[in-house]
């Protein structure tokens, strides 16, 4: 079955319904965009039913829901590619309903939190007017991680609350005047995403290899580096990673990283 395209033209809801109707078994490979993020993963089907999902740093069911929040990006169905044991057992209908709800929630929250690479800081002298501000435990947890250095993505991961819930809380804290966005150099927002892309393939060694690649490209302060220097560092990174992943996979990873830089600059 030839099924491929772009999520901007053929959303994930239509993909799920089509594969359900045709009772297909296989996997959909997705490289999707959500705001400034690029995420890559798989959605698996058996006889048309969703039985698994893979996305770095996501549990299977959360990964399935996350695909609904992608606004665009290429996808392709591979007939017969699936997983040995199902990791998702709820119905397609329930997944679609929850996925659409999360899609709407993301659309709303992105007006206030447009990027997971955004860095926040505490407002020095917040004014709450005449009303007292009462924070729930989850809100306090997020607030304590706002320090002018952590990105929204880092806060979401360290808090254990997930990206959507973290962004909802951050939007509320912004509205309450307790936190504010810290202006950052563009490259400061690019570097965390490069590390995320690399970590999906290399795990904890990714950061060390990237730091070494920056040095080899002559970058001493990432905040003052040019886009050309970052691309040169990715070239260095590709050479080092080829020894670990092989030339083909290293070339693909480096290509994704270069594409993200070029899209962001």
Q: pLDDT per residue over 90-99, tens digit each?
A: 999 999 999 9
Q: Are residues 146 and 236 in the same domain?
A: no
Task: For residues 235 and 193, state if they share a domain.
Answer: yes
- Note whether residue 198 is domain-resident: yes
Q: Among 181, 198, 232, which residue terminates a domain?
A: 181
Q: Would residue 25 count as lying in a domain?
A: yes
CA distance 50 to 31: 18
Q: What is the pTM of this model?
A: 0.62
Task: Provide the pLDDT for residue 63.
Answer: 93
Specify whether 16 is located in the same domain as 100: yes
Q: Is the pLDDT of residue 107 over 80?
A: yes
Dump pLDDT digits (tens) for 122-175. 998 776 554 567 889 999 999 999 998 888 888 988 898 888 899 999 999 998
Burial of residue 152 (CB within 10 Å: 0-12, 13-18, 19+) is buried
Strand partners, 43: 28, 53
For residue 113, being part of any structural domain is answered with no
**Same domain for 126 and 97:** no
Q: Are residues 195 and 175 in the same domain?
A: no
> 49 or 227: whose pLDDT is higher?
49
Whether 112 maps to a domain, the answer reads no
Rg (CA), the chain: 20
Please state, in angstroms and rounded to a whole number, the distance separating the CA atoms of residues 43 and 29. 7
**What's the number of domains the chain is made of?**
3
14 shares its domain with 90:
yes
Give the structural domain span for 238: 186-264
């Amino acid at each position: 079955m030839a099924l491929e395209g772009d999520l901007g033209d053929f959303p994930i809801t239509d993909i799920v319904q089509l594969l359900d109707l045709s009772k297909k078994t296989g996997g959909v490979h997705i490289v999707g965009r959500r705001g400034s993020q690029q995420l890559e993963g798989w959605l698996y089907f058996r006889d048309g039913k969703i039985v698994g999902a893979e996305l770095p740093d996501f549990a299977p069911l959360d990964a399935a829901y996350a695909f609904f929040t992608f606004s665009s990006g290429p996808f392709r169905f591979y007939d017969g590619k699936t997983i040995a044991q199902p990791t998702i057992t709820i119905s397609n209908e329930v997944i679609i309903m929850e996925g659409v709800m999360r899609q709407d929630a993301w659309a709303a929250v992105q007006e206030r939190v447009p990027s997971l690479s955004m860095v926040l800081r505490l407002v020095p002298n917040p004014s709450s007017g005449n009303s007292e501000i009462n924070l729930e435990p989850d809100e306090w947890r997020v607030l304590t991680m706002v320090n002018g250095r952590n990105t929204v993505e880092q806060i979401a991961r360290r808090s254990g609350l997930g990206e959507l819930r973290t962004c909802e809380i951050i939007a509320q804290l912004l509205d309450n005047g307790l936190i504010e966005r810290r202006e950052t150099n563009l490259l400061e927002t690019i570097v965390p995403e490069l590390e995320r892309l690399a970590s999906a393939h290399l795990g904890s060694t990714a950061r060390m290899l990237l730091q070494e690649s920056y040095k080899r490209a002559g970058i001493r302060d990432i905040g003052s580096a040019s886009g050309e220097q970052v691309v040169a560092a990715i070239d260095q990174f590709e050479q080092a990673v080829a020894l670990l992943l092989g030339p083909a996979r290293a070339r693909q990873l480096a290509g994704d990283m270069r594409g993200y830089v070029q899209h962001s600059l």
